[in-house]
Chain A
């Protein structure tokens, strides 16, 4: 980085050095353009000998204030070296430079890479004061962040589909519905926290410099909101609560089927990232999510209501299984470089960009094809076809992924739309069964 090249890009230039009075001094520097060359000049009142020969820092700073408040285009470059003053002219023998430009390192990334320093500072102050400091978010927001609460929609929708498919066949017990939803939600929360715990332990989340609300994990352990041991206690408790409800339902509604589905669900959830299986690290995470959030949840929810398994419920589980798998899949795109570094070889890390997008297009098409086949194969009412109306959203998801591929912050809109598409399409499938039953 050359000082002469940078001067024209910044409107504020300051020089700092330790002054003769022992204070650091920061002075404005005049930048003069003469004969096509930029030269630096000291302001009046600063004696050249107070600066010359000293170690100095020249800071070039720029922000663009926005009329609506706030700033954009923030950047600075600092040159450290020795000042040489000759007459009015100041020169710097530059020894090193450092800089930040938010167009290259967006502020959230700058924050992320500074996290270890913040944790060290918290620990130092904590030791001094004899307390353990944690980021203060309050109980609700700490919980919200640590368990990734909004993602529970990925459990609620398949449960709704399983129960709606049972309703279509004339079965509905609201208490069993609530118990099923609660049990599966606990397992899902256990999955989220266990996933964070192991991804932090194995490095996939720790290496991620550009996490978003949809990718890069909850960061609860990395930010110190949860300690690793608290995370272990939390996911074990969630799994235990899920299993307890599973056992109750198995004892009251069907021992073999519910015990088997609960066991499969727990295994898929825990070993999604936990050693030795680490399914997500072996390119099997997508399959695990499809099975867990599709057939396992939908068949389980259906069975609890009807006490039987059926091809109809299996057919209902396919589109939502693919949709939830696609939530994971699209969210893996911005994580891919960091996942690869950590040896988490998700499907996205194994495919090229073109292949990743092709798989997305095929999977989105499969959602709507499998939905259309439900009434065509007489496995459900024609009213489920209402879910096909979200196809334009799916097209937007595909286009968004193609246009912002690999740019985490630009992909946030697409990742959000993808979650909405899964929720709306799934909800419409469930509604289709309910309306079909009522007609």
Chain B
């Protein structure tokens, strides 16, 4: 199925997910996975992650090969009414021109999931390098949805067009 944007129930899962597994391809051509907090911007239809430069391997992988996948699977980690297992494949880009504050426009989305983030940010001096962060922006291309988290059923497949 070709869509211009993600189905709304999938967007709900992306918005409610507290943990996603982001997978990139390393220099040896192997898939490498990282559990991360996903931030979904419904207006733009784009998925975001922020990565501290302390854990920057994935940033270098994505710069070399922008193809990534994201999996949201565990019910315990999803705060939404409906539950589906969602796999997103897409192209990512790393935004790291302003590591100090270039990610802060994502704070409203981050705050919705982790309201205590502001308290941590106020103590930025305690972990200065942790708060130097790059943004990973993922443009979804292909989405597989296991409805209700039923892995024994065939997933729904969605292909997204250029324009969301």
Contact = CB atoms under 8 A, between A and B. Distances in A.
B154 A44 contact: yes
Contacts of B18: 63, 65
Interface stretch (A137-145, A280-288, A415-423): A137-145
B136 interface: no
Nearest to B153: A44
Given A26-B23, A26-B71, A63-B77, A57 B32 contact: yes
A163 B70 CA distance: 66
A83 to B, nearest CB: 11
A185 B74 CA distance: 55
A16 B23 CA distance: 7
A115 interface: yes
Given A25-B23, A118-B53, A12 B74 contact: yes
Interface stretch (B6-14, B42-50, B95-103): B95-103
A223 B128 contact: yes
Contacts of A234: none
A326 B34 CA distance: 44
Given A16-B33, A23-B142, A115 B129 contact: yes
Given A25-B31, A135-B132, A111 B127 contact: yes
A405 B22 CA distance: 39
A338 to B, nearest CB: 19
Nearest to A42: B151
Interface residues of A, number: 54
Given A61-B21, A137-B124, A114 B55 contact: yes
Contacts of A57: 23, 30-33
A223 B129 contact: yes
The interface size bin for chain B is 35 or more
Contact of B73 (A12, A135, A213, A224): A12
A55 interface: yes
A26 B128 contact: no
Contacts of A115: 54, 129
Contacts of B124: 137, 141
A63 B37 CA distance: 12
Contacts of B108: none
A270 B25 CA distance: 50
A118 B54 contact: yes
A70 B130 contact: no
A276 interface: no
A121 B67 contact: no
A76 B33 CA distance: 11
A346 to B, nearest CB: 25
Contacts of A224: 129
A82 B124 CA distance: 42
Given A11-B74, A24-B68, A118-B132, A43 B151 contact: yes
Interface string A4-30: 000000011010111101111111101
Helix, strand, loop or mixed for chain A's interface? mixed
B92 to A, nearest CB: 10
B114 interface: yes
Given A16-B21, A135-B131, A24 B59 contact: no
Given A44-B153, A69-B116, A125-B99, A14 B126 contact: no
A118 B131 CA distance: 11
B76 interface: yes
Interface string B103-125: 00000000000111000000011
A344 to B, nearest CB: 24
B56 A69 contact: no
Interface of B: 18-19, 21, 23-25, 29-33, 35, 52-57, 59, 67-71, 73-74, 76-77, 85, 87, 89-90, 96-97, 99-101, 114-116, 124-132, 141-142, 144, 146, 151-155, 157
Closest 3 CB pairs of A and B: A136-B100, A135-B128, A43-B151
Given A17-B31, A43-B146, A45-B157, 9 more contacts: A12-B73, A18-B29, A23-B67, A24-B31, A61-B21, A70-B114, A135-B129, A144-B125, A213-B126
